[in-house]
Structure 1
Amino acid sequence: MVKTDYDDRTQLEMLRKKMVTAALIHGMNHPLVLKYSQQIDEKHNVLLKNSYVKESEMYSAY
């Protein structure tokens, strides 16, 4: 099964919701909130990298 950007965006949104919920329950400085924030950053970097690669491939065809 091929993983798509849609899957990554869905996971990113799920992590964001978990982070917000954890922050409401535990406070902004709780380690769980930081963990979710770091996971969001990692997922966002993957999305940006994939976007850059696709753009590069598109323009290299010219």
Structure 2
Amino acid sequence: MRNISQDVIASTPIMLFSPHEQRQIAARLKAQLTEIERLPQRLLAQAFKTQGVGDESAFD
């Protein structure tokens, strides 16, 4: 495997988002992470609701 020279690395363009775009991206990622973190709770709630657990009418 050949090494990449510093000149090649230094001359490679790297796309950077503006600070405004970075904040928008961070906000979207934070919102998505919040949804992911809440998912197990929702799945458990849905499973218990489907099974009638905690619903006294299931015993009628």
* TM-score for the superposition, normalised by structure 1: 0.43
Compare relative contact order (CA 8 Å, sep 6+) and give the higher one, 1 or 2. 1
TM-score by length of 2: 0.44
| Structure showing the higher helix proportion among its residues | 1
